[in-house]
Amino acid sequence: MATTRSPQPPAIGILMLDTRFPRPPGDIGNPETWPFPVRFARVPGAAAAAAVRGAGKGLLAPFVEAGRGLVAEGCRGIATSCGFLAPLQRPLAEALGVPVLASALMQAGAIAATLPPGRRLGVLTIEAASLSPELLAAAGVPAGTAVRGMPPGGALAGPILGGGTTLDTGAAEAEVVAAATALAAEPGVGAILLECTNLPPYARAAAEATGLPVHSIVTALTWFAAGLAPPRW
């Protein structure tokens, strides 16, 4: 007799910033991005600009509250929707009692370890001026990693950091490709890591333009989910 598998709760809960801009497929906040069940929780008052320019300062309490709600709903791992929240990694894990992946930057060391000798990682970020050495160190990003940001106030950074409600995805893709190409031209860069969780919709275009591997929150959470809910063979 065939057995019926009971529905499984989402393995991953995603703590979303309090934003209004569109989230195309590939964005962390679009359910179509994920080949596994996820559950979202918006963190009230957590604006993108505050997360990026404050590196999570003052946001721990509301993130913990929202995270506890997701854990209570059955989520076995928690992620956030902003790479600049790497400093919240340890305090979130301590408060929630489940595995946490606070930033796409957390995979930097593993990516760097895959590269041939003489090659290094490059990070593409929403705002280079805010990605401090202290934040990079908190995420375990190797010293010597190249960093390049998106154009300030541009088609991507403008709506995201400015609280916008529209997004020109064609113009955003062109900006990402241009920035990734410039990053790939820096000496020794052998792979690109997208800090921002809104950049993955354009990862394929960046990879095709540069010929380099492009990692992101999508690669990070796919790995994370594989450990939380391994397939049954």
CA distance linking residue 87 with residue 101, whole number of Å: 11
- Chain position carrying tokens 């796919």: 222
Look up residue 97 and give its two tokens. 């009692």
Contact in structure between 185 and 173 (CB atoms under 8 Å): no
| CATH topology agreement for domains 12-103+219-228 and 104-216 | yes
Stretch 196-218: mean pLDDT, rounded? Answer: 98
**Domain 12-103+219-228, CATH among 2.60.120.330, 3.30.200.20, 3.40.50.1860, 3.10.129.10:** 3.40.50.1860
Look up residue 85 and give its two tokens. 């929240």
Q: Quick one: pLDDT at residue 71?
A: 97
pLDDT tens digit sequence for 52-85: 999 889 999 999 999 999 999 999 999 999 999 9
**Domain 104-216, CATH among 2.40.30.10, 1.20.1250.20, 1.20.1050.10, 3.40.50.1860:** 3.40.50.1860
Task: State percent of the chain over pLDDT 90.
Answer: 92
CA distance linking residue 105 with residue 216, whole number of Å: 8
pLDDT tens digit sequence for 17-35: 999 999 999 999 999 999 9
pLDDT classification of 8: cutoffs 50, 70, 90 = low
Contact in structure between 105 and 74 (CB atoms under 8 Å): no
Write down the domain spans for the chain: 12-103+219-228, 104-216
CA distance linking residue 189 with residue 210, whole number of Å: 10
pLDDT tens digit sequence for 92-146: 999 999 999 999 999 999 999 999 999 999 999 999 999 999 999 999 999 999 9
Q: In the predicted model, is pLDDT for residue 4 greater than 80? A: no
Residues 6+ apart with CB under 8 A from 180: 124, 192, 206, 209, 210, 214
Q: Quick one: pLDDT at residue 2?
A: 42
User: Please, what is the average pLDDT of the chain?
Assistant: 94
Contact in structure between 64 and 95 (CB atoms under 8 Å): yes
